[in-house]
Each structure stands twice: as C-alpha cells, then as structure tokens.
Amino acid sequence: MRELPEVVNYTAFGRTVKALVFSGRDGEVSHLGKDGEPLLTLVILKTPPPNAPHKRPTVLQTATAVPEVEILYDVVHASHEFSAEFKEKKGIRTAAEAASHRGHGEWSEVMILDGSLAPKDEAPTA
C-alpha cells in the first residue's frame, strides 16, 4: 500500500491536474503499470462547466465556497499497457477498445524540485 496522503498527476482529456490519492489496489495484474504501479482511486477538484453560475462567483460566494470534488476509481499508471495475451482474451483490436478497458485518464508521479520523481513509497515533499 502506498503512503497516504500522496499527491500524483492525473491526466485526462488533454489536461493534467494534481490529485490526492484516496486508495490503491494491486489486485488486477492486467491493469498494473510497467513497474507494478497499482490502480489508484483519486480525488480531484471538480471543474465547473463553462457557463455555470459559480464560474463568476460573487464576493460572498467566494468567501463561503466549499470546493466540489470528483472521485476517480481505478485510474491506471501512465506506463500501463495490456499484454498481447490480455488483448487476445478480451478481443481488443483497436486503440479505442483498449481505452475502454483502460478507463479515463492516467496517473503519474509528481516531479519534485530537483527534477527527480518522488519515491514510490513516500509522499512528495514539494
């Protein structure tokens, strides 16, 4: 199990945000990262839709706002790839079919100030 709380990068739909690790799961070998990185349940701040009223909040709303969060289940590591055996067993032939089994988005380690990756068994210090 990973150290909690930990912050990782979550990338999906062309954007990358910081995410808080809620839990990890090592169970499904087919969905682990290249170096055995687990599936993670992540929490991110929810982005309001472009025309949402709270996109332009009043002073009172800003002072009293409670952030909305989104929970993302079973997010794979950026290095994740299905084995040829798994693809054959599930009948996966295209990138779109692989993406549907892989889920939306992926996580990666956070870079710390010296340019290295945070250790996998420790939370980042930056």
Q: Print pLDDT tens along the chain (126 aa).
A: 455 568 999 999 888 999 999 888 876 777 888 888 888 899 998 876 666 665 666 777 667 777 789 999 988 888 888 888 888 998 999 988 888 888 888 999 887 766 556 555 444 444
Measured CA to CA, the distance from residue 104 to residue 123 in angstroms comes to: 24
- Tokens at 125, concatenated: 């210090």
CB count within 10 Å of CB 66 equals 5
User: What DSSP assignment string belongs to 6-60?
Assistant: -EEEEEETTEEEEEEEEEEE---GGGS-TT-PPEEEEEEEPPPPTT-GGGS--HH
The pTM of this model reads 0.70
Measured CA to CA, the distance from residue 23 to residue 38 in angstroms comes to: 10
What pLDDT was estimated at residue 49?
65
Nearest-5° angle of CA 76, CA 78, CA 67? 65
Nearest Cα to 71, choosing from 21, 27, 14?
21
Domain ranges of the chain: 7-108
Measured CA to CA, the distance from residue 19 to residue 10 in angstroms comes to: 6
